[in-house]
């Protein structure tokens, strides 16, 4: 005799409630009631307002700025769910902060991505669902299952309507070559690379271009932009090499103050990103925000039903070029 599937309950932290509501709408589940507030001294208070004993609980919370506050809020929500006897707790983290701190590249520095993985496990997370990790090896930092989705199928659908002329997909640095190659194959476009030199944490300099972009539209692809330094410096040198319209496709646009004037003055025609985190509007600059609620919602449904999520990585092979 088969055991009954535990009932699904979906909750959201305060980081991106709009996305959480859209995910719930896409899967036909109500967004659970939870009280999240702060004490006068800044400590986070959480109370789950529904019975979740024996339920399959999903907590949606990207660790977008303010990163530490949203991470701590997620950990406290998980602890509340565990102490309320939830059957299983899945942390749905559309944007996983601290993923860039994935190795010791200098003396006496932490591997913070591993620390965050340990904290989530210790708090009581049974499984993690995330999207477009900065470094895929972060999955190996967890001692629990990690389902890693990609926003590429969502972006490709839109990009095919924009890149109607001869196009080149460009990686703005050597580390993003694998991602750029996947986009170029899906779009039927050529591939190029911009080699860069990082001057400071917020400043980069594009040095040279490997590949031909003259007379072509260009798509710059990256997993994350915060200051827009890498994208805008790459766009500048690509324009000098004869590129036509330049677009930027980015999974997570965590735009800080420094990014706004850079984008406004840049050679980039349009930034295409997702709502994995709340995206700031940039006056006088075109930003297109694509919704990933159906992608994440389908991932949640398949995890709940103990089904494979690997087919979500498939992309229609039809191209417009």
Give the residue numbers annotated as catalytic, written as ranges: 196
Contact 72, 46 (CB under 8 A): no
| DSSP H stretches of helix in the chain | 17-27, 67-83, 112-123, 152-162, 177-187, 229-240, 259-264, 293-304
Separation CA 217–CA 30 (nearest Å): 43
Task: Catalogue the E-assigned strands of the chain.
Answer: 8-12, 34-38, 44-48, 56-60, 88-93, 127-131, 146-149, 167-171, 190-198, 204-210, 217-225, 246-253, 270-274, 286-290
CB atoms within 10 A of CB 142: 19
Separation CA 91–CA 77 (nearest Å): 10
Separation CA 320–CA 318 (nearest Å): 7
Q: Are strands 204-210 and 217-225 parallel, antiparallel or unpaired?
A: unpaired
């Amino acid at each position: 005799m088969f055991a009954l599937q535990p009932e699904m309950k979906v909750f959201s932290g305060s980081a991106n409630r709009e996305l959480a509501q859209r995910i719930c709408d896409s899967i036909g589940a109500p967004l659970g009631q939870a009280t999240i507030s702060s004490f006068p001294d800044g400590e986070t208070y959480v109370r789950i307002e529904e019975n979740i004993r024996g339920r399959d609980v999903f907590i949606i919370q990207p660790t977008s700025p303010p990163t530490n506050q949203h991470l701590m809020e997620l950990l406290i929500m998980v602890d509340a769910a565990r102490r309320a006897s939830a059957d299983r707790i899945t942390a749905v983290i559309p944007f996983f902060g601290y993923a860039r701190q994935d190795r010791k590249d200098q003396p006496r520095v932490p591997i913070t991505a591993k620390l965050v993985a340990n904290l989530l496990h210790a708090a009581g997370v049974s499984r993690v669902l995330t999207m477009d990790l900065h470094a895929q090896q972060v999955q190996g930092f967890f001692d629990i299952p990690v389902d890693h989705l990609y926003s590429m199928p969502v972006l490709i659908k839109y990009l095919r309507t924009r890149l109607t002329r001869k196009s080149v997909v460009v990686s703005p640095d050597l580390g993003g070559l694998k991602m750029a190659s996947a986009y170029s194959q899906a779009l039927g476009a050529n591939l190029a690379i911009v080699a860069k030199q990082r001057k400071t944490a917020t400043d980069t300099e594009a040095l040279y271009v490997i590949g031909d972009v003259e007379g072509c539209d260009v798509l710059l692809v990256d997993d994350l932009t915060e200051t827009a330094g890498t994208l805008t410096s790459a766009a500048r040198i690509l324009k000098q090499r004869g590129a036509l319209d330049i677009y930027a496709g980015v999974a997570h646009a965590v735009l800080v103050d420094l990014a706004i004037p850079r984008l406004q003055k840049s050679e980039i025609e349009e930034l295409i990103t997702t709502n994995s985190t709340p995206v700031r509007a940039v006056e006088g600059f075109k930003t297109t925000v694509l919704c990933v609620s159906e992608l994440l919602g389908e991932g949640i449904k398949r995890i709940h039903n103990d089904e494979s999520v690997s087919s979500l990585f498939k992309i229609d092979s039809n191209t417009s070029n």
